Structure 1
Amino acid sequence: MIFTKMHGTGNDFIIIDDRDEKFLNRESSIAKILCDRHFGIGADGILVIRNSNSADIEMIIINSDGSYAAMCGNGIRCFAKYAYDENIIKKNEISIMTGDGIKIAKIEDNGGIAEKVKIYMGTASFETKNIPALLKEDIINHTIFVNNKEYKINSMLMGVPHTVVMGKLEKFDVNEGKYIEKYNEIFPEGTNVNFCEVVDESHVKVKTWERGAGATLSCGTGCCASAVAANKLGLTGKKVQVSVPGGIVYVEIEEDGVYMIGDSMITFRGETDLI
């Protein structure tokens, strides 16, 4: 198998071009093998390239534990850059089919290479049936107790389920997210967990526990969810710099939805005999 390793603000992925469907229906087992950081290549997940009848290209996302993800913000930036740089789709606007529908990637070109990618991430839904969550009312500043600790949570569907906990980051260990993720009294399918600190009205800091991957250096959909939650609570404006352990992305909240802007990087290419 030929592969490319990429990352978006430290959220790393293995890109596999499978337009000939050689690995069809094997994605889960492949992800668990390749993403192992000791016995494999090491990554937070794999991104599989497939042809699409309704978009320019399709992205299949599999987490490191083998579970399927409908959407990944950092992943789709890496995916779009790869498709552009490798001349698979050489357009300044690329339509990408995901499990959360078609997303549009706008490419900022620099000498034939995608330097920045702006992604239309869709809209955030606070309806509990969409998250899904087992409460009737929107989850905004809702109090829960996990392991005898109080959390004020804000939950939404931002492509995938996200829960945002506001507060000083120093008060939270990101690994606390594993217990909120599986808080079955509310989240029957689990949730991604973001701890978000507001610096000022245009800047937040975030650290994320990802459902299916654990603590990551960055989560694109989590950055968007955190910006949306902070704005909804009246703590920030509609254009926000989001600082994560792996770098910086920018989130813009428009009338038609949420946009994320950031870079991505190819770290290395290789061939593996593990598959």
Structure 2
Amino acid sequence: MKFWKLHGIGNDFIAIDKRFDQKSSSSYSNLAKIVCHRRFSVGADGLLIVKNSNRADVEMVYYNSDGSRAAMCGNGLRCFVKFVYDNNIVTKEEFSVETLDGIKNIKFNIENKTIKVNMGRYSFKSNDILLDNNKDKFINEKIKILDKEFNINFVLMGVPHVVILVDKLDKEEVFKYGKEIENHNIFPNKTNVNFVNINDYKNIHVHTWERGCGYTLGCGTGMSACAVICNYLNKVDKNVNVTSEGGCVKIDIEDFVYMTGPAVKICEGNLEV
């Protein structure tokens, strides 16, 4: 099975073309667990699968490394775009991609090698987020995790995200509390967890514990979610640079949320599966 491995600011993916595979989009869970294993296979945070679409130019099917399917992945979408464009699956520089989170419109800037993706609309509504509470929004709510109390903010950015504002980023805290928050019973479908430090009105830094993956060098939906929450709290502008350990993307908050950043091919080869 031919594959490419790519990364978007350190968030790495395996991409495969399954347009002519008769399997359904929901049947690749076990394949994701096999090929994403970092000891026994190529290894990645997730698996990107190209499928034909009746609604858009192409469909992106995405699975986390633990085999769970996700509705959306921002860095994954940019890597998916590079894969389908470079392999002439789609030949336009502006095109549409079907995801479980709806149709995403793409603009591939060949000149500066960046990809602008429409991340969709965010939602604070509890009935969209499926939180086990009676609140209309879940903003600045206190929650006790192990030995520490956190003020958490929750937003649906295609997938669920907790955003926690901190004075200083501490990776040890991300590892200590991230998994606990991800699996807290207030989030029936689990959640992604982001710790964010605000540098100034135009720049923030983020560490993300990704649902189904663990700590990641970059999470596109998470970086978008952090920008949305920080803007909602009047901490940053609607146009903000968001930096993670793996790199930086630009987030623009309009009627939709837009993310602009790079996608890089690492290698290609054949998988024995």
Common fold by TM > 0.5: yes
Does residue 266 (structure 1) correspond to residue 265 (structure 2)? The answer is yes
- Partner of residue 239, structure 2: 239
In structure 1, the residue matched to 2:148 is: 149
Question: Across the two proteins, how many residue pairs are aligned to each other?
Answer: 269
Are 1:252 and 2:252 an aligned pair? yes
Native 8 Å contact 1:77 1:263 kept in 2: yes
Partner residue, 1:188? 188
Which residue in 1 is equivalent to 2:68? 67
**Unpaired runs of at least 5, structure 1:** none
Choose which of 124, 134, 139 in structure 1 pairs with 2:132: 134
CA–CA separation in structure 2 for the residues paired with 1:10 and 1:70: 20
> C-alpha separation between the residues in 1 aligned to 2:233 and 2:187?
22
Q: Is the contact made by 2:140 and 2:153 (CA closer than 8 Å) also made in structure 1?
A: yes
Q: Could you tell me the TM-score, scaled by structure 1's length?
A: 0.95
d(CA) in 2 for partners of 1:48, 1:41:
15
Give me the TM-score of the superposition, normalised by structure 2: 0.96
Q: 1:125 matched to which residue of 2?
A: 123
Aligned-residue CA RMSD (Å): 1.2
Match of 2:14 in 1: 14
Q: 1:4 to 1:22 in 2, by over 3 A?
A: farther
Note if contact 1:28-1:68 (Cα within 8 Å) is conserved in structure 2: yes
Deviations 1:40-78 (A, max 9, x none): 110001000000001000000000000000000000000
> Do the aligned residues in 2 keep the contact of 1:172 with 1:195 (CA within 8 Å)?
no
> Paired residue for 1:90?
91
SS at structure 2 position matched to 1:53: coil
What letter is aligned with 1:227? A
Output the CA distance in 1 between the equivalents of 2:214 and 2:22: 29
Q: Tell me the residue number matched to 1:31.
A: 32
Partner of 1:241, secondary structure, is strand
AA aligned opposite 2:243: S
The answer to whether the Cα contact below 8 Å between 2:243 and 2:249 also exists between their aligned partners in 1 is yes
Residue 95 of structure 2 corresponds to residue 99 of structure 1: no
Identity of aligned residues (%): 49
Match of 1:218? 218
Residue ranges of structure 2 left out of the alignment (5+ in a row): none
- Using a 3 Å threshold, how does the CA distance of structure 1 residues 135 and 15 change in structure 2: closer, same or farther? same
Deviation digits for residues 163-207 of structure 1 (CA, Å, limit 9, x no counterpart):
1000121386221210001110x2111100000000000000001
